[in-house]
Structure 1
């Protein structure tokens, strides 16, 4: 293949993989999606970077993020029904709003920009979805007959805290010693065979 054809092909690929965030994006944020759809965010500061990140995540996982937020605030039963009331009650005991608010208030302005930028990016995409629900609203919202709500930095912090707890749990399960857990066929019962497998 000649060099000119390679250059033209490269330019076409870059153009095809580029998605620039909504023009109302604050400052200079650019979201580029590669050939696999993975977003790459380019920004001038922390707020803009997390704005782009929140925007891209909302594009890809709006329903999942809405349910993650609801799972931290004890609001899942509002969508999935009364079978989730116990789940919601447990979530309300685990995640204390005053503690999360205090932690957010103690952050430096740049660290708070992570949370507020992410929320603003989520909200920018939600605004676009609400403008064209027939085209952009994920089907799950229609199936469960509700709409995505606007996000705050607090919401982002709550979901982030839940993720930290899940990762800590996974870390404890995967460590050697008393926390070690393995999955193996049910017919293997003796400890020596299990140890040999792992």
Structure 2
């Protein structure tokens, strides 16, 4: 979504509220599973354009242990400040144009095209920044942290795979054999 914020940039003290309801983003770095919902406020302070708000969505992430994909809720707290600069259009008596100064780094995604704000690019950047670096699915009470099953389920599967008697822990099977050999 691209927002024309010319009016806000032109008048110091002007503000605008936007309700965000964007479809899920899907690209090479992000796969959202839910719509991006939230709110944003643009405020012209005269010297800067402030952008504040919050948005929520869910993304698909691979578990850092087993690479199984799961849904991770992501909450974005957005706080940005862009410098405003006046450019003269002619002699001093003529009006000037106010433009947004943006980071010129080649790796930074462009958020502004003149006075048009690229909301989709900003949301993409914030989602990338708010994803966990080592994603793990949420842990549930009394479930194994590795396989997310109850310990008795994992043990039952291990017994059936190794065809071991159900009495005692499989790790102590050899010890049980030695004890049974004793007179």
Report the TM-score when normalising by structure 2: 0.25
Higher helix share: 1
Report the TM-score when normalising by structure 1: 0.24
Higher strand share: 2
> Bigger radius of gyration, 1 or 2?
2
